[in-house]
Structure 1
Amino acid sequence: MAKSENNEVMFGARGKVGNLVVFKNFANNQTVIAKRPRRPENLVYTEKQIKATQKFREGVLYAKAVISNPDLVATYQPFVKPGTSVYNLALADYCKEPEITLVDTSTYQGQIGDQIKVKAIDNFRVTEVKVSIFDATDVLIESGLAMLSTNNIDWIYEATTLNGNLTGTKVTAEAKDTPGHIKAETVII
């Protein structure tokens, strides 16, 4: 693969030349010359590959919607690095769901004001974390939004309802990212 930056002869060149090479353009005025990709003729995709392709297609639609929405462009623009674009960042954000790495109920004793800590991360940004507390019979005791702590990773939820019986209590945390993906984790006390 060869790269050409700010080359007046190659500037804007794209597409394939015969069956040998292809020219690709990137956001930083860089033209890449690469060997033409080839696919096997009788290629059969696995279920996982089909799902990945579908997710990528949806991501492309999301990224196109982002670049046509000035408010979303303003959200992504400060995080764009050289060689990428808002479109690239939005596509990557869509393709990766948020993760919840910890639901810490060690300080929750069923009292009003007790805290539950949730660690939630995303490749771009987690926009909100919702915490729901259920009793042993799956009846909702309380639910609400956690507040982001100063480290931008931990979300803190303060209980607002008394829970007299902790045995079997389920705490569910749901993290939501900018494209709207929701990832949930449940712990049982």
Structure 2
Amino acid sequence: MAIVKDSNLLLQNVQGTLGKQFTIYKRNGQIIIAVKRGKSKKKPTQKQLDVRWKMKVASAYAVAIIKDPEVKAYYQSLAGPGQNAYNMAVKDAFHSPVIQDIKVEATDTVVVTAKNEFRLATVRVRVQDESGKVIEEGKAVPEKNGVDWSYKVAQMPKKGRIRVFVEDLPGNVSERGLLLG
């Protein structure tokens, strides 16, 4: 790949493929010349097919979501040089949030530490007894540090399980549990 530095009169208005050897295109006002890539003759692996599907879904999300001016402005504010709101929305949709830690404080408060490169939409906490019956469920509240979310449990069982569901803007959900007792 080569980036044309000077305003080249010959390449200024050229885009496309030349002689099945080079592709010339513009990105962010720069002219780029690259070797033309051909289609692979290998059969894609299952992992490649999964990634292609995930990318297709992420791209569809980005196309739809940037029609909302507020969300587009949010993603654009996170874009770096050579990036745009669409790129950031695809990146957000492609990666799921990560639940780093679940703690139960002495005050019967569940504290969830979760992160995502972009903002999280919701954190839900489900409290179950030993048999798996749901005792209560609700949304956690974000703490001021921007990483922790807390949920006050009305009646914490001695034994049981806490399930945490973290969702980001595109709808990717990560789930993690904590055994009690």
Structure 2 residue runs without a partner (length 5+) = none
Q: After TM superposition, give the deviation of residue 99 of structure 1 in Å.
A: 1.0
Aligned residues: 179
Distance 1:94 1:6 in 2: 37
CA spacing shift, 1:4–1:158, aligned 2, 3 Å: farther
Picking from 101, 111, 116, the partner of 2:110 is 116
- Whether 1:185 aligns to 2:176 is yes
Post-superposition offset of 1:49: 0.7
Match of 2:164, SS state, is: strand
Deviation at 1:8, TM superposition (A): 5.6
SS of 1:7 mapped into structure 2? coil
- Deviation at 1:183? 0.7
Q: TM-score, normalised by structure 1?
A: 0.86
AA paired with 1:177?
D
* Structure 1 gaps, min length 5: none
**Matches of 1:12 and 1:56 in 2, distance apart?**
31
Quote the residue 2:72 is aligned against. 73
TM-score (norm 2): 0.89
* C-alpha contact 2:165 2:175 (8 A) present in aligned 1: yes
The DSSP-based 3-state class of the residue aligned with 2:167 is strand
Identity of aligned residues (%): 26
- Is the Cα contact below 8 Å between 1:3 and 1:30 reproduced in 2? yes
- CA 1:54–1:135 in 2, change beyond 3 Å: closer, same or farther? same
Q: Is the 8 A contact 1:5 1:29 kept in 2?
A: no
User: Could you tell me which residue of structure 2 aligns to residue 22 of structure 1?
Assistant: 23
Mapped contact 1:12–1:31 kept (Cα < 8 A): no
Distance (whole Å) between structure 1 residues aligned to residue 66 and residue 14 of structure 2: 24
User: What RMSD, in angstroms, separates the aligned Cα atoms of the two structures?
Assistant: 1.8
How many Å separate the matches in 2 of 1:35 and 1:130? 49
Q: Is the 8 A contact 1:12 1:25 kept in 2?
A: no
User: Which of the numbers 155, 163, 174 marks the counterpart of 1:162?
Assistant: 155
1:45 corresponds to: 44
